[in-house]
């Protein structure tokens, strides 16, 4: 049961997960791993973020998923950042496994290309790509785990790279970003404003 206070706040019942009761903005990526038989797996993840200011990235997964198992075994993974026009690809990558071989048949229709330094694939025509070595996995967040990797190689589409003689808003307008609005919605980001950082603020 929720209780509204005079200020308009609603107390959420934390005896069950709260995350479906409001919206949050998150990136949406495809994590690429290699199956035990050599097949490539791609799985969408939205609980993903840089792990500090150095070249580390992390995402939330569960040991029940092949993504978790593949990274534990192989020690590597890729990260592809799809464009808004590739929303269908991310949806297909989320299809359940089926059949006696427990395969994702939908992955066969996704256009991919191989990473350069590790045995994983990227999704074609995304705008940002990372090749990662497994750094560490922290288990115990309920049924979930935080999987982290060190970025060993990174590539960005030339039309999505920040350069000094191009205004950031023009860049974002011309190369929109795909955002996941949990739970179950998405948005195209093509408009932005400069953040009003206070004078002297440091990382």
Mean predicted confidence (pLDDT) in 145-159:
97
Tell me the HSE value of 182 on the side-chain side, using a 13 A CA sphere.
Answer: 13
The band of 201, judged by pLDDT with boundaries at 50, 70 and 90, is confident
Is the separation of the CB atoms in 95 and 104 below 8 Å? yes
Structure tokens at 174: 């011309």
Share of the chain above pLDDT 70, in %: 93
Phi first, then psi: give them for residue 168, nearest 5 degrees.
-60, -40
Residue 165's pLDDT is what? 86
Is the separation of the CB atoms in 19 and 66 below 8 Å? no
Mean predicted confidence (pLDDT) in 24-38:
95
Q: Which domains does the chain have, with CATH numbers?
A: 21-189 (2.30.110.10)
pLDDT digits (tens, 9 = 90+) for 51-80: 999 999 999 999 999 999 999 999 999 999
Residue 132's pLDDT is what? 98
The band of 50, judged by pLDDT with boundaries at 50, 70 and 90, is very high
pLDDT digits (tens, 9 = 90+) for 85-134: 999 988 888 887 655 555 676 777 889 999 999 999 999 999 999 999 99
Q: Distance between CA 137 and CA 145 in Å, rounded?
A: 7
């Amino acid at each position: 049961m929720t209780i509204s206070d005079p200020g308009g706040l609603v107390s959420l019942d934390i005896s069950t997960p709260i995350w479906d009761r409001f919206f949050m903005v998150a990136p949406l990526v495809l994590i690429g791993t290699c199956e035990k038989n050599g097949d490539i797996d791609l799985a969408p993840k939205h609980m993903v973020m840089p792990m500090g200011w150095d070249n580390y990235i992390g995402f939330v997964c569960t040991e029940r998923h092949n993504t978790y198992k593949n990274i534990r075994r192989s020690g590597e993974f890729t990260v592809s950042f799809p464009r808004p026009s590739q929303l269908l690809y991310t949806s297909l990558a989320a299809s359940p496994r089926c059949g006696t071989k427990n395969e994702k048949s939908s992955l066969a229709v996704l256009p991919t290309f191989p990473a350069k330094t590790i045995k994983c694939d990227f999704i074609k025509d995304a705008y940002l790509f990372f090749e990662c070595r497994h750094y560490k996995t922290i288990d115990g967040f309920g049924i979930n785990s935080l999987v982290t990797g060190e970025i060993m190689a990174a590539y960005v589409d030339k039309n999505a790279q920040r350069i000094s003689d191009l205004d950031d808003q023009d860049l974002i307008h011309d190369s929109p970003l795909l955002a996941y609005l949990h739970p179950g919605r998405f948005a195209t980001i093509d408009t932005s404003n400069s953040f009003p950082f206070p004078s002297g603020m440091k990382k």
